[in-house]
Structure 1
Amino acid sequence: MQIFVTGGAGFIGSAYVRAVLKDEFAGAVGAKVTVLDLLSYSGNLANLPMTDSRLRFVQGDITDAALLRDLLPGHDAVVHFAAESHVDRSISGAVPFVTTNVLGTQILLDAAREAGVGRFLHVSTDEVYGSISEGSWTETWPLDPNSPYAASKASSDLLALAAHRTHGMDVVVTRCSNNYGTHQFPEKVIPLFVSNLLDGKQVPLYGDGGNIRDWLHVTDHVRGIQLALDKGRAGEVYNIGGGTELSNRELTGMLLDACGAGWDMVRPVEDRKGHDRRYSLDITKISKELGYTPQVTLEQGLADTVTWYRENRAWWEPLKARAGL
Structure 2
Amino acid sequence: MKKILVTGACGWLGAAIVRALLARGDAVVATDLAISPAMDALARDQSRLTTAAADLGEWPQVARLFEQHRPDAVVHAAAIVGVVQCADIPIKVHRVNVEGSINLFESMRIAGVKRVVHISTEETYGDFNAERIDEEHPQKPVSIYGATKLAVEHLGRVYSRDHGLECVNVRTCWVYGPHLPRLRVPRTFIEAALRGEPHHLPEGGELAVDQVYIDDTVAGVLLALDKDTHRFDSYNIATGQAPSIADVANAVNRAIPGARITVGRSGEGYRHGGTVPSARKGALDIRRATAELGYRPQYDIQKGIEATIAITRIEMAKHREGK
| TM-score interval, smaller chain | 0.7 to 0.9
In structure 2, the partner of 1:322 is: none
Query: 240, 249, 252: which one pairs with 2:237?
Result: 240
The superposition leaves residues 106-149 of structure 1 with CA deviations (integer Å, 9 ceiling, x where unpaired) of 11111111111131111101111012252422222221111111
Query: 109, 112, 115: which one pairs with 1:119?
Result: 115
In the aligned structure 1, how far is the partner of 2:317 from the partner of 2:62? 34
- Aligned identity (percent) is 32
SS of equivalent residue, structure 1 residue 106: helix
In structure 1, the partner of 2:29 is: 34
TM-score (norm 2): 0.86
- Does 1:171 find its partner at 2:167? yes
In structure 2, the partner of 1:296 is: 299
Query: 246, 249, 259: which one pairs with 2:246?
Result: 249
In the aligned structure 2, how far is the partner of 1:189 from the partner of 1:96? 26
Q: Aligned pairs, how many?
A: 308
Extract unaligned runs of 5+ from structure 1. Answer: 24-29, 318-325
* Contact 1:16–1:222 (8 Å) recurs in 2: yes
In structure 2, the partner of 1:306 is: 309
Extract unaligned runs of 5+ from structure 2. Answer: none
Once the two structures are overlaid, the 10-residue window that deviates more, 88-97 or 244-253, is: 88-97
SS of equivalent residue, structure 1 residue 79: strand
Change (3 A) 1:189 1:35: same
SS of equivalent residue, structure 2 residue 140: coil
- Kindly report which structure 2 residues correspond to 1:1-325, keeping only aligned pairs within 5 A, or say none: 1-23=2-24, 30-39=25-34, 44-46=36-38, 49-50=42-43, 51-73=45-67, 74-201=70-197, 203=199, 205=201, 207-231=203-227, 232-233=229-230, 236-263=233-260, 271-272=270-271, 273-313=276-316
SS of equivalent residue, structure 1 residue 246: coil
* Contact 2:57–2:103 (8 Å) recurs in 1: yes
In the aligned structure 1, how far is the partner of 2:217 from the partner of 2:294? 13
* Contact 1:81–1:122 (8 Å) recurs in 2: yes
SS of equivalent residue, structure 1 residue 213: coil
In the aligned structure 2, how far is the partner of 1:109 from the partner of 1:201? 48
In the aligned structure 1, how far is the partner of 2:206 from the partner of 2:93? 27
* Contact 1:122–1:173 (8 Å) recurs in 2: yes
Displacement of 1:44:
5.0
TM-score (norm 1): 0.86
Give the superposed CA RMSD: 2.5
